Amino acid sequence: FTERFGETRADFHVFPWGSPTPNDPTRQATTIKTAWGALRKAANVNCRLHDLRHTVATKLAEASVPESTMPALMGHMSRAMLERYSHIRMAAKREAVEALSTRRTGQNSDGVSTISTTVGAPLRLQ
């Protein structure tokens, strides 16, 4: 912005393109869809804007951000939506289960890891 417009101000928009006046930082983009499409093209990435919401929710969950804090960061979000948006990686699930375990028992005949926990029966990790 500074190079193109000579200054930056708090009222400048992040997506300043659209009609009728293209590249005017004081005018917002015509639509978020238009802005996202132009940004994706410029950055040469292929993802949906909504994919970023899923990524942020997952990263927050894996960083052990309290579930009571996540809706404040993500916008209004019910428990069901929180579960839908956060996709915990399998590695994170394994680490969580292993944190409960006292000893690893190996693999079963299917090659699936099993562990014994202090809670009881061996758990199956897929």
Amino acid at 88: I
Same domain (yes/no): 26, 61: no
Q: Which of 63, 80, 15 is nearest to 41 (CA)?
A: 15
Q: What is the pLDDT along the chain (126 residues), one digit of tens a residue?
A: 567 667 777 666 665 555 555 555 556 656 777 888 888 888 898 888 888 888 888 888 888 888 888 888 888 778 888 877 887 777 777 888 887 765 555 555 666 666 555 555 555 555
Domain coverage including residue 62: 48-88
Q: How far apart are CA 75 and CA 84, in angstroms?
A: 14
Q: How many domains does the chain have?
A: 3
Amino acid at 29: A
Same domain (yes/no): 63, 29: no
Same domain (yes/no): 28, 61: no
Same domain (yes/no): 8, 39: yes
**pTM, two decimal places:** 0.47
